[in-house]
Amino acid sequence: MTQKSRTEYSARNTTVAVIARVSAILMGFAARVVFTHTLSEDYVGINGLFTDILNVLALSELGVGTAITYALYRPIAGGDIEKQKSLIRLYRFFYRMVAVIVLALGLLVIPFMDILIRDQPAVEHLTLIYLMYLANSVCSYLWVYKRTLIDAHQLSYIGVLYQTGSWILQNILQMIVLITTGNYILYLSILIVCTVLNNVAVSGRADKMYPYLRDKEVTRLSKEERSGIFRNIRAMLMHKVGNVAVNNTDNLLLSALVGTVSVGKYSNYFLIIGSVKQVLDQMFQGITASVGNMGVEAGRGRIKKIFEASFFMGQWVYGLTAICMYHVLDLFVGLSFGEQYLFESQITLILCLNFYLTGMRQAVVVFRDSMGLFRYDRYKAVAEAVVNLVVSLVLGRIWGTAGVFLGTMVSTVTTSLWVEPYMLYKHRLQESAAPYFLKYLLYASVTFLLWYGESFLCGLITGSLWTVCILRGIVCFAVTNLAYLALYHRTREFGLLWRKAIELARKYRRDRSGV
């Protein structure tokens, strides 16, 4: 096999991941429409609540995946197979322990279910349903550890294809079950079976690609190596706490402070916002292994150029998407799920702003994790968790749903927005982060001005709801892209990305022509 460049690996991983994710999301959206039209709002709320409970329990994963993946980059670059075997064996041990811990903690939640659910929903077999969600979460940790080796070899598109195939099959079967029987228990059974099948298939593919995974003789890592990994795991645990507190407690807080009906509304908004975020995040996940490889082999100047280009790309796509989403989201939710699931416009604004702020962090997070810098800002993650929970509780009691989401925004602005880039520049790029913050201010100012101006333009559009929704999307997409292009086409970051795109296009044509 011809060795590909980091750019080629990144392009292939990103392209496949985005296409696969879009396909899975379209199918998932269709399944969600069927779900909301065949089951009551109580089921919609319970689905969101139980998902968030198990995401909180996923803290027991401790960030093992990120720490092990980072540890794999150097032995892969150096062709050290024995070290790869040792790391994967350690990873397997960790994940089996995680499965046991999640099961135990999940069972301990059952006696406190009445506290977590403010208004008892009209759902039969509630405990059994929760146990099935728990079983799916536990199964997700089994056999999946081998996928990390595939991803670390810059071949993450393989795992993405398996996962997407599993999701599409799952959604098709679940829609058939809901339409024909409306049986929620059978619906969840399909979820568990597809999770297991996906993990087994990826594990088998990894064994074929890397036969040494089946070797029985595996050298134990040295004490120093294990200590380094455990140190990184402890740091990643703090990041996991912060991420879960910010991103996976909203449903819990809404259920406790407002009620499960609000959880059901948010679940539909989150389906759309989260799905879009997943697609865009794939652009950065596709370059993760290549960034890790670059961190081993490239100099500081090269890393800085690629980071700045990645940050520029991120602000463009997340800014464009946030603007478009804000102007069509309420219309789309109302048309798809029903007007009973609509939030007030100010809540939609807060959700879209949170989406934008999170997206602007993606380049920094990928570079931080891929280069093993997560130890330096570990206390930031704990502070972020505390700020989010305290502010969300206080504002949630005052303003209800809007207050809960405002807590997320406050925690991001006061911690992650500035700490993460500061640590990246200090400990890896080894220079002042002031130029980064100036660019951030510039990018955000341009985006918010466009956001405001396009609100006026969208207000002029009339017609049926579908017509208004589609035309608003077209206007926002065209105006934002044209404005960004006019403002940024002469920048160094745009030039670098444009040259990379031209190189890939030429390489693709040469490969197709056989020259």
- Say what the pLDDT of residue 29 is: 79
* Residue 408 · residue 356 · CB < 8 Å: no
State how many domains the chain has: 2
Q: Are residues 228 and 143 in the same domain?
A: yes
Residues with Cβ within 8 Å of 85's Cβ and at least 6 positions away in sequence, in order, are: 212, 213, 215, 218, 219
Q: What is the DSSP letter of 183?
A: -
Tens-place pLDDT, residues 431-453? 999 999 999 999 999 999 999 99
Q: Are residues 144 and 214 in the same domain?
A: yes
Average pLDDT along the chain, 515 residues, taken 10 residues at a time: 60 77 79 80 71 62 67 84 88 85 86 70 77 87 81 82 87 91 89 90 91 86 83 75 71 76 78 84 72 75 90 96 96 87 91 95 88 83 88 91 92 93 92 96 97 95 93 96 96 91 77 59
Q: Which domain holds residue 81?
A: 1-237
Q: Are residues 183 and 106 in the same domain?
A: yes
- Say what the pLDDT of residue 515 is: 47
- Say what the pLDDT of residue 289 is: 65
* Residue 402 · residue 350 · CB < 8 Å: yes
Q: Are residues 350 and 457 in the same domain?
A: yes
Q: Is residue 283 part of a domain?
A: no
How many whole angstroms separate alpha carbon 85 and alpha carbon 79? Answer: 12
How many whole angstroms separate alpha carbon 401 and alpha carbon 386? Answer: 19
Q: Which of 237, 256, 274 is the last residue before a domain boundary?
A: 237
Q: Is residue 249 part of a domain?
A: no
- Say what the pLDDT of residue 513 is: 63
- Say what the pLDDT of residue 246 is: 73
DSSP string, 188-253: HHHHHHHHHHHHHHHHHHHHHH-GGGG-S--PPPPHHHHHHHHHHHHHHHHHHHHHHHHHSSHHHH
Q: Are residues 211 and 318 in the same domain?
A: no
Q: Are residues 501 and 390 in the same domain?
A: yes
User: Which residue's structure tokens are 């009209």?
Assistant: 122
Q: Is residue 272 part of a domain?
A: no
Q: Are residues 309 and 163 in the same domain?
A: no
- Say what the pLDDT of residue 330 is: 94
Q: Is residue 257 part of a domain?
A: no
Q: Are residues 202 and 310 in the same domain?
A: no
Q: Are residues 305 and 233 in the same domain?
A: no
Q: How many CB atoms lie within 10 A of CB 485?
A: 11
pTM value is 0.75
Residues with Cβ within 8 Å of 103's Cβ and at least 6 positions away in sequence, in order, are: 134, 138
Q: Which of 237, 261, 283 is the last residue before a domain boundary?
A: 237
Q: Is residue 211 part of a domain?
A: yes
Q: Are residues 224 and 366 in the same domain?
A: no
* Residue 25 · residue 279 · CB < 8 Å: yes
Percent pLDDT > 70 in the chain is 89
Q: How far is CA 171 from CA 35, 168, 178, in A?
A: 10, 5, 10
The three-state secondary structure class of 287 is coil
Q: Is residue 270 part of a domain?
A: no
How many whole angstroms separate alpha carbon 365 and alpha carbon 424? Answer: 9
Q: Is residue 274 part of a domain?
A: no
Tens-place pLDDT, residues 337-394? 888 888 889 999 999 999 999 999 999 988 988 887 878 888 888 888 889 889 999 9
Q: Are residues 305 and 191 in the same domain?
A: no
Q: How far is CA 403 from CA 134, 222, 248, 394, in A?
A: 29, 49, 16, 8
Tens-place pLDDT, residues 473-486? 999 999 999 999 99
Q: Is residue 253 part of a domain?
A: no
Q: How many CB atoms lie within 10 A of CB 496?
A: 17
